[in-house]
Every structure is written in structure tokens, then in C-alpha cells.
Structure 1
Amino acid sequence: MTTQFTSSPLARTLSRLPSSSTHPPSATDVEAFRRAQRLAFDCAQACAAEMRVGWTEGRTAKWMFGYLHDHGVRSYLHKPIVAFGDRTVAHDDQWEPPRGPGLTLKEGDVVILDCAPVLEGYTGDIAYTLAVGEHPELDRARDFLTDLRAELPERIMDPATSATIFDWVDQQIRGAGFQNGAGGYGEHVMGHRVYRHGKFFTNHPASPPEKVFGYFPSWHSGGFLLNNVRRLVAPEVLNVNHRGLKTGVWAIEPHLRADGWGAKFEELLVVQPDRAYWLDDISQERIVIQP
């Protein structure tokens, strides 16, 4: 499965529109985003330690909900996404939480745990890729993602690659022998901006009803969706069309496809006028699910 990403002149123009999201975050904001991200990673690591063969995607997502609730979270950018085996590929337009029990975990499966809690108003949107037992092919993919992650801050600051950073990442993924999984996401993104939410959307998991708005909006926070719509979406998503300013806070999530499985990382990247940096290196702690 190879997805081709087509650029739109209108979307490129809209992505350059002024947005309050491009304001550089304060030191206080950065620390608050870091706390939210750390909680999200703690959740994924704790969940991986508990998981065993026979768990379902639905059971795993419920466990993550419970952990985050016990740690003070009442709202999310999106509900936890748990994917086992073939669902980790992120087939076109199918990256979403499991419906019902979902798939059952088997020995050798690749697993992606993706959660986005809102803590004290700040979003921590992360993803971990791991496997049940040893998985040499996944190790190679994670080595590639580690190298990509190391280079991204410099590339996003370089005028030669900043405007077309999606194209650069796409070329790196394909050049390494993988396929780009961005086609699995709404707007075919490899990243999106994250926000500080007000009290209502911090304390209430308000999501649009599926029967009225469809499944995609139903697993996202109303606060996140309203922020996107209010800013006309294009400046807020990092896809093939984005040509605007990169300053602000982004959840970066390159997703690659291999043979029957996929892998990604997701974490927050802070882009200031003079530098870009990851909040920490927790995403690089490799863990496995015990078979």
C-alpha cells in the first residue's frame, strides 16, 4: 500500500494565515506541556508492563483510561488509540481507537499505544511502539525513527527544509524502504499543534456525538476541534500543504508502514524563533511486552 500525498494550492495558502498558535510558548507553558507529556508516557509504560497475550485492544484502552483518570485527567485531545498487529499499519483513513474489543494480542505482535491526556489545561500527546517479545525488524524501524527524530529539530529550523518538512520526512521514510503511514490520519498529517485548554474543556471530556458528526469527531475533544476550526485547520496541521510558520508546540508523529505492521513515535516538539527541541527523551526508552 503506497499513499501519494497531493498538495493543494488553496491549502498551502491557508496554511500561511496568521494564527495565535504560532506565538512562542512561555517557560511556564513549556513546563506544563512537559508534565502532561510525562504523564502520558508514564501511562503507556505502566500499561505495557501489565499487558499480556490475550488482552484485547479495547481492554488495553480501558486500562489506559483508568490510569489517567486515577492521575487526575478528566479530558483528552483524543481517546486512547490502541493498535495490535495489522492495525498498526494505519491503513488509509483508519487510524482510530478500537471499536468494541478490537483485536486480541498475540505473541510476536507489534503494538502502538497512543494517548493524549489534558492535564491542568495542557495536552500531552504521545505514542509508543513496542512488541510482544523480541522483534528484530521492529528494532530496525525504531533505529530509523530514532535517527529521524534526532535530525528533525535542525531540519524544521533550516529555511531550506522548514516549509516542506513533510516532503523531507516522506523522502526519508521511503528511502529507508518503508512506506509513509500519514494516509491513515485525517488531513494526512505527520503532526499537529497542541493547545492550552480552558477550565471547561480541561474538566469535561466533551466530544461531539457520533450519530450527528461521525466517528472521527466523536473520539476527539471538543476543545481541540474548536481550536482547529477557529484557526481554519490549515495552519494547525503539519501535512504536505503546510507552508506557514512553525513556531509553537507541535505533536510530531511520523508513522511508517512495513510488511504487515507499522511503527511510529509521537511527542511534543517546541519550536522557538531561534531553536527547536524535544521536551525530553522518554520516547527513546525501549520496552517490550513480556510474552
Structure 2
Amino acid sequence: MSKEYYSSVDLDDFKNVQKLAYDAVESVAGRLVEGMTEKTAASLIDSYIRERGGKNFFHYGFAWFGDRTAFRGFRRPLTWKRIGGDGVLPHWGFQFQPSDRKLKEGMAVILDVAPNVKGVTADVGYSFSFGENAAVKQGRLDLREFRSLILGLVRAEKTMGEIYRSCNDLIVELGYNNCHTIYPNGVLGHKVGKIPAWNVPAGRLLGFPPQTFLYLVPQILKGFFSASSNASPLWGEFTKSRVDAGLWAVEPHIGKIYSDSKAEESFGVKWEEILVVSDTDVYWLDEDLPHVHFWKDQEKTKTGKKTIPIFKTKKNSKTKTGVA
């Protein structure tokens, strides 16, 4: 895997694209109405990005509602499923694509997008509930622990696999299911950077344009054929390399997954943001992010101080809007 280094000017560009992505998901969160489908929400995210100069994507917008935020019933893509013990079929991850699932009051919501602006990309994930849901709110609060844990372990030069397993131990300790294990390769995160051929019109394969594969696949192959390490741009459970210099989109995703009798209570929550890694330092690219504000606001509430809302939703007497 190639180390990647960026100037302060470059990092400002990445910060701006990350902000654009979060502006998009926050805007769409405020426009959600009961009965809207995941497909419509995802389309609104993409439209917001395009209207503000993002002509391409690292991946297009995703939206998941209800138990789909926990990937309940999903299987990891690119794995094989036995049929009656006699045969196998490939699984390509179509379950992750935005569906016709309709939004209902109290549902968990995850909005996720990775815009590409002139080759500079960022990847974000935003969790909340449509209306009141105490379990989702608690899950969002519990996610705070992972941000400091991951930062500390990267600074301690632990391998990606070691950090992954430490996060999994914390998930179990907190009483949640590990939802990011269902992502392709079960990743906790992945590299982002400057994407080649960003100005070439892109197609779409399972929510990704071909330029994304042009960026990731050569690094995957380099790590695969390296005799000295198991380096990879994908942050997996068994990745033996340390977190190399570059930018990493980290996305701890936890949830509660219940059986059929309580299926509607299943939910998942996550955050996703860029971690900057150099040869001498490690830090989160930005502190001005929705989940960071949420944690600070909740802490202020405990101490009785006035809080500031994450964002304001438009009032509409005919529809229900907003998050809790």
C-alpha cells in the first residue's frame, strides 16, 4: 500500500468536501417526511451534492431506515451462501442499495455519501431517529467512546487488525452488535484520497463509480502481492499492517439486532469521518461535525447549560420533520 502525503492546502480541500457531504445529509435529514422511501432520500443527497459542484462520487448516496440501519438480515458482499448444503451462489451486496422501505415515525435513519469534487473526496455517515427513539439516542451517545479509542490506538501504532478487534470488544462490552462486519471485507474504515479520472463521466456499479475501483484496487493488489506485509487500503479485522500515512474514512457502526418478534425495534447507528495520519501525527480532520456537536450538547444538558441544536428543520404543519 502506498503512503499518501497531503499539504495543508490539500487538507483544507478535503475538509471542505467533508463539510459538503455533511451539509448534504443534514439538509436531507431536515426534509424527510413520513412515507418517503430510502430511494428518494438517497436521490436527494446526490442532488444536493451535484447542485453545489460535486459532479462525481467516491460512492453515491445511501439511505437506510428502520432495521435496515442495522443491516438486519444482510450478509457480507462477495461471500458465498450455501443452498441446502449442496451448492453455493455468489452474493453481490444488492441489499445495501436504497430500497422502497418507507419512513415511519420513530425509525432509525442512516444517511451516507462520499462526494468527489475535482478529485478530492470524503466519506460521511450520519445517524439519527425520525422522531423520538430513546434507544437510537443512547446508541449515538455510546458511539462517542470509539472516537477516542481509535485515535489512541492509531497513535500507539497498533495494527489495523488490533484496532478493529479492540473496537469489537468495546461493542460487545456496550451490549451492541457489530454492524460494520457486514460491509464489504467487514471494514472499520478505508482510505480516501485524490481519485483518478475524476472529470470523466462515471457509471455506477453497486453504488460506486469505476474511478473508486481505479483508486482502491491497485493498492489492494500491491498489498496482496507484497511479501513483507498484509497492507491494504481496507481496514479489516485481519489486516496486519499499521495505519499508514494518508487519509482514512473511519466508520464504527453498532446496533441492536432482534429476532422476528421484535424486528421493528432493531436499529443501527454510526458516524464516519476522515482521520489524518502522517509519519509524525494522527488527528481527526475536523471537530466541527454533527456527531461531535451532539455529544457536546448532551454533556451540556447534563450540567444544565443551554444547548444549541445540531440543525433546524423547516416547520411544516402538514408533515412531520426533524430528528431526535
TM-score range, shorter chain: 0.7 to 0.9
| Cα distance in 2 between the residues matched to 1:126 and 1:278 | 13
Q: State yes or no: 1:283 paired with 2:283.
A: no
Question: Residue 161 of structure 1: CA displacement?
Answer: 6.1
Q: Does structure 2 retain, via aligned residues, the 8 Å contact 1:173–1:180? A: yes
Aligned to 1:92: 75
Q: Which residue of 2 aligns with 1:173?
A: 171
Distance, in Å, in 2 between the alignment partners of 1:130 and 1:181 is: 16
Which consecutive segments of 4 or more residues in structure 1 shift more than 6 A? none
Using the alignment, how far apart are the partners of 1:24 and 1:168 within structure 2?
Answer: 27
Alignment equivalent of 1:266, drawn from 268, 272, 281: 272
- Which residue matches 1:238? 235
How many angstroms does 1:203 deviate by? 4.8
Higher alpha-carbon deviation: 277-286 or 44-53? 277-286
Q: Which residue of 1 aligns with 2:299?
A: none
Task: Give percent identity, aligned residues only.
Answer: 27
Alpha-carbon distance in 2 for matches of 1:42, 1:265? 14
The answer for the alignment partner of 1:110 in structure 2 is: 108
User: Cα distance, 1:163 vs. partner?
Assistant: 5.4
Shift of 1:271: 1.0
- Candidates 122, 128, 147, aligned match of 2:126: 128
The count of residues paired between Structure 1 and Structure 2 equals 260
2: CA distance between counterparts of 1:162 and 1:81? 26
Contact 1:155 1:162 in 2 (8 A): no
Aligned to 2:145: 147
CA distance in 1, matches of 2:242, 2:170: 22
Q: Distance in 2 between matches of 1:186 and 1:104?
A: 25
Deviations 1:31-63 (A, max 9, x none): 111111000000011111111111111111111
- CA offsets 1:231-251 (integer angstroms, 9 cap, x no match): 125511001121223121000
What value does the CA root-mean-square deviation take over the aligned residues?
1.9
What secondary structure is seen at the aligned counterpart in 1 of 2:110?
strand
175-184 or 109-118, which moves further after superposition? 175-184
Amino acid at match of 1:134: E
Between structure 1 and structure 2, the one with the greater Rg is 2
Query: Contact 1:74/1:203 (CA < 8 Å) preserved in 2?
Result: no
**For residues 180 and 157 of structure 2, what CA distance do their matches in structure 1 show?**
23
CA–CA separation in structure 2 for the residues paired with 1:88 and 1:163: 24
> Partners of 2:19 and 2:158 in 1: how far apart?
32
Between the two structures, name the one with larger relative contact order (CA 8 Å, sep ≥ 6): 1
Query: How much does 1:218 deviate?
Result: 3.4
Q: What residue in structure 1 maps to residue 86 of structure 2?
A: none
Match of 2:9 among 23, 28, 39: 28
Return 5+ residue gaps in structure 2 as ranges: 77-92, 224-231, 258-265, 295-309, 312-320
Q: Structure 1 unaligned runs (5+)?
A: 1-18, 208-216
